[in-house]
Amino acid sequence: MSRHERQTEILRLIREQPLSTQADLAAALQRAGHEVVQTTVSRDIRELGLVKVRDRSGRLAYAAPDALPTAPSALGASLRRAALSIEASGNLVLVTTPAGFASALAEELDRSGHPLVLGTVAGDNTIIVVAREGVSGAELRDELRASLTRGAA
């Protein structure tokens, strides 16, 4: 099986079932008849840009970046769900999340097209959000904090 075929199969599998770990993904590939090792699965996850998001049951599962919602209301909901704190310094904003949530939230911030956000850098539980030229970190922080309450029931 080629890399392209394997990665296509991975995308199909994560659309059809919640897979939360590399081991889950490797086992699903093996059940589908594809022999893989953990290092190959790890590389495929990185190359495909897979992120972990909450599925309908609230469990973290792999998703393709293009499967993430990008609407501003979705961004507010994601911030409410994942952001523990939002602080500013200079033209930067630091968002802290529970472990494992930063990558998915940063991807949503990037895809949202938020007019004040230039881009993000994510770790496991921390996101650095870079404000656009002429926008202070404090302005961006206030805007992100305000989005926490927009659309909240």
Residue 124 CA to residue 96 CA, distance in Å, equals: 9
Task: Reply yes or no on whether the pLDDT at 69 is more than 60.
Answer: no
Same domain, 142 and 132: yes
Q: How confident is the model at residue 37 (pLDDT cuts 50, 70, 90)?
A: very high
pTM flag (> 0.75): no
Domain of residue 46: give its range.
3-66
Same domain, 29 and 8: yes
Same domain, 44 and 111: no
